[in-house]
Amino acid sequence: MKSTPYGNSKSLIFAPMEGVTDEPYRMAIGKLFPEWDYYSTDFYRVPTVGNINAKRVHDHFGARTFQNEELRKKTTYQILTTARAQTEQVVQAVSELNVDHLDLNLGCPSKKVNAHKGGAYLLSDLEELKRIIRLIRSNFKKTFTVKIRIGYRDDSSFEDSLKLFEDEGVEAITLHARTRDQLYQGIADWEYIKKAVKLVNIPIIGNGDIWSVHDVNRMFDETDCHAVMIGRGALKTPWLATLFYEHQNNLDFISDEYLLDIRKDYLDLYFYELEKEYRKLGLDDHNILKRFKSFSRYLFDDYADGEIVRGRFLRSMKLDEFLSHLDRL
């Protein structure tokens, strides 16, 4: 039995992010900030050669996620593939795991991924894209969605791609309102999300430049999208869903001073819980520090001396040094 893609309406989704949303990260976020309605794995890269390792497919989702029925139902399994990759075999392996929701990454702007004709590149080849969509749809009977951009080089295939997804049985579309070539430059054009909502009869999930609870509210109001997916904004404020649901009826309460006051407390909890999860995985101080630094790109933007603060964390040579800087915020 299929589930409704991303709930009935106005859900908040923690976006899939490569190198971030592995199981220990998701477990930490789920424990600290359970207000997020849905999570996703980072993408599983479908291999082009070799045997498909069912255990590796399973481990990408996570053993503890499988054991927790509520968490399993809230977690999407995302894959990234190409025309030459072993898509059918991997999708069959995912299907056998009884995963409720499979998502295809068609938005990744990575130069390497697109050079291998994966990610957003497939939006420039609708015939090949249709073949891949049909292959996945015929091998996965539960909820199947896609995450896309408005196009590869430009938006010339935007409307045709939306219709293709709807016609081929895709059940929801997450739309990042930039082309691949725009990367993360400029401002995401939410008019494309509003247009997509009117063009197709399947849920559209809005994505792109959502940094605050006010942005979440504005995305819903301006586009009438079904749900909102947050990536970089969630990395900056992992507790953003908590803020939104606690204050959505009184957004004026959320001042800059209030946000800075709670940021310090939440950052302490965030890194404490993440360290616990990575210890369970067997990571040592060096590898935990490496991950913590990678998560620090946006965390300190709201401080008046944000670049200086971030620099202190990024120059830390040891994990204890990194954590000690939290006391100085």
CA distance 191 to 19: 30
Which residue type is seen at 181? D
Based on the residue annotation, tell me whether 108 is a catalytic residue of this protein. yes
Report which secondary-structure segment, H or E, holds 287: helix 285-294
Phi/psi for 39 (5° steps) reads -125, 175
For 179, the token pair is: 């082309």
Please compute Rg for the chain using Cα positions.
20
- Half-sphere CA count of 19, side-chain side, radius 13 A: 10
How many helices, marked H, and strands, marked E, lie in the chain?
Answer: 16, 9
Residue 227's DSSP bridge partners are 11, 205
Residue 44's DSSP bridge partners are 79
Distances (CA, A) of 203 to 52, 225, 292: 32, 7, 35
Which of 201, 92, 174, 101 is closest to 143 using CA atoms? Answer: 101
- Half-sphere CA count of 33, side-chain side, radius 13 A: 28
Count, residues in the chain: 329
Residue of 108, 225, 229, 241 marked active site: 108
- Active-site positions read 108
